[in-house]
Structure 1
């Protein structure tokens, strides 16, 4: 699955265009490597996403083309949430 689509379906980022923009700005890493919006993600990958002063690190648990809002949280496990000053 494409990175930008995963971020949208899992509701980590609400819109695919925003997910694409964040990835293009170099603010997303897959397993420690900078990722592009078209990068492929798979189960077990660790994503680090930088939102302003906050960095979220998650592990992908499930993939799916579409997911109900209640089930979206089960697509990943939050590993770490860091706030930078």
Structure 2
């Protein structure tokens, strides 16, 4: 699954366009390197998302297409 879509489905970022812009502005890195929105997210990836002065680090636990807010929290684990 594309990174921008995964960020939206996991509800880490509210809209896919915002996730795409974050990738374009080099605010998201996977496994220590800056990635684009088209990056293929895999289970076990470690993502760093920079929101202004705050940085959120997560590990990908699941890559599924399901879109339910009750399942979104199980898609990642904060590090």
TM normalised by structure 2 equals 0.97
Residue 66 of structure 1 deviates from its aligned partner by 2.3
Residue 65 of structure 1 deviates from its aligned partner by 1.1
Can you give the 5+ residue segments of structure 2 that lack an aligned partner in the other structure?
A: none
| C-alpha distance in structure 2 between counterparts of 1:13 and 1:25, whole Å | 15
**Does structure 1 residue 11 correspond to structure 2 residue 11?**
yes
| Greater share of strand | 1
2:33 counterpart residue number: 33
Summarize the alignment of residues 1-85 of structure 1 with structure 2, pairs less than 5 Å apart.
1-79=1-79
CA radius of gyration, larger in: 1
Find runs of 4+ consecutive structure 1 residues off by over 6 angstroms: none
3-state SS of paired residue (1:13): coil
Alpha-carbon RMSD: 0.6
Count of aligned positions: 79
Can you give the 5+ residue segments of structure 1 that lack an aligned partner in the other structure?
A: 80-85
